[in-house]
Amino acid sequence: MNTFDIITVIAIILFARLGVRLVGRFLLKNEEDETEDQNDRN
């Protein structure tokens, strides 16, 4: 593998980690909003 391949692999790994983190936060926020909505209804 040449230098460009190594940089590409590192970039893909970093973007994948960032994406997983953002999706995880988004899903947690949605679950909290849904539980708050259910609590407000009761």
SS3 of residue 19 by DSSP: helix
Q: Quick one: pLDDT at residue 32?
A: 74
Whole-number pLDDT of residue 40: 67
Residue with tokens 């190594």: 6
Predicted TM-score of the model (pTM): 0.60
In 3-state terms, what secondary structure has residue 42? Answer: coil
Instruction: Give yes or no for residue 37 having a pLDDT over 60.
Output: yes
pLDDT over 60 at 3, yes or no = yes
